[in-house]
Amino acid sequence: MKIVAFRDSSNGSGKALRYRIGAFISQTRIGDLTHLVSESGLTEHQILGCFDLDSGFVDQAKAAVAAGIFPIAVSGAEVKIVSPVPRPGKIICIGLNYRDHAEESGMAIPESPIIFSKFSSCTIGQGEPIVIPAGSIQTDYEAELAFVMGRHARNVKKENALSYVFGYANFNDVSARDFQFADGQWQRGKSCDTFAPMGEFIVTADEITDPQDLSIKLHLNGQTMQDSSTNQMIFGVAELIEFLSKFITLEPGDVVATGTPPGVGFARKPPVYLKNGDVVAVEIAGLGVLSNPVTAA
């Protein structure tokens, strides 16, 4: 099942945002499943509750989809698809998690996962613009596999870790390299507004046989810039959950971005950075395509 979050196109600035949740059927059709939770739309917090595998929502949603019992929403003029997790409780990112990317960055292969975070406010969805922040001339792309947590996880063993995953999605770890490297730490360069595109849907974990065997690509204006497989990760999804849950309680709706393969812009010769008018797309096998235009602040 492909899960999306969306809202009425008329629900713009100045109004309290209420979201809806549904099953992605096609680029223009969504099976609205909001009624399984609320008749009046959902807050960002209520959407997080839908990712709790023990809440019953997923089972009810699968039954509704199998029976075809749901209202149909039409994407486009009527509704706007947003990030499938509009405001994650946490966005945890993993640095240098592809061997070749560590090498192209001139850094040693990590002996344990390198962890950093993005602010949840920088999340955007399919088709929303990535905004190059004022003062940056080195804004870069990073195609990543993200997983969304489906259960509270603390001290989880690797052997059971995948049962805690709600699903998987495309993610773009947009990074202002000039900010990142100037600061000596990564928070500002990774967390500018719009720097966490995700989606356009989450594929539930039961439909992904092996998260460590997915092709992952990034296209910039139609040109393939990154082309690898998640089998090149140094630390896989299960290992990351085991490691993270030793120190951080993971909660339903938390997003973990698992690192990027080689081919990022700053490591190219000459470097390639995002510019006004670009279109950048992340494509992971089975997860569709996440495409975002680029604009300048």
pLDDT at res. 100: 79
pTM: 0.95
- Is pLDDT at 115 greater than 80 in this prediction? yes
- The predicted-structure confidence for 8-34, as pLDDT tens digits, reads as follows 876 554 455 789 999 999 888 999 999
What does the pLDDT average to over 174-198? 95
- The predicted-structure confidence for 124-151, as pLDDT tens digits, reads as follows 999 999 999 999 999 999 999 999 999 9
Q: What is the SS3 assignment for 132? A: strand
**How far apart, in whole angstroms, are the C-alpha atoms of residue 158 and residue 236?**
10
Q: Which CATH number fits domain 91-296: 3.90.850.10, 1.10.3720.10, 3.40.630.30, 3.40.50.620?
A: 3.90.850.10
Q: Residue ranges of the domains in the chain?
A: 2-82, 91-296
Q: In the β-sheet with 130-132, what is the strand arrangement from edge to edge?
A: 130-132, 289-296, 279-284, 215-220, 223-229
pLDDT at res. 74: 84
How large a percentage of the chain has pLDDT more than 70?
97
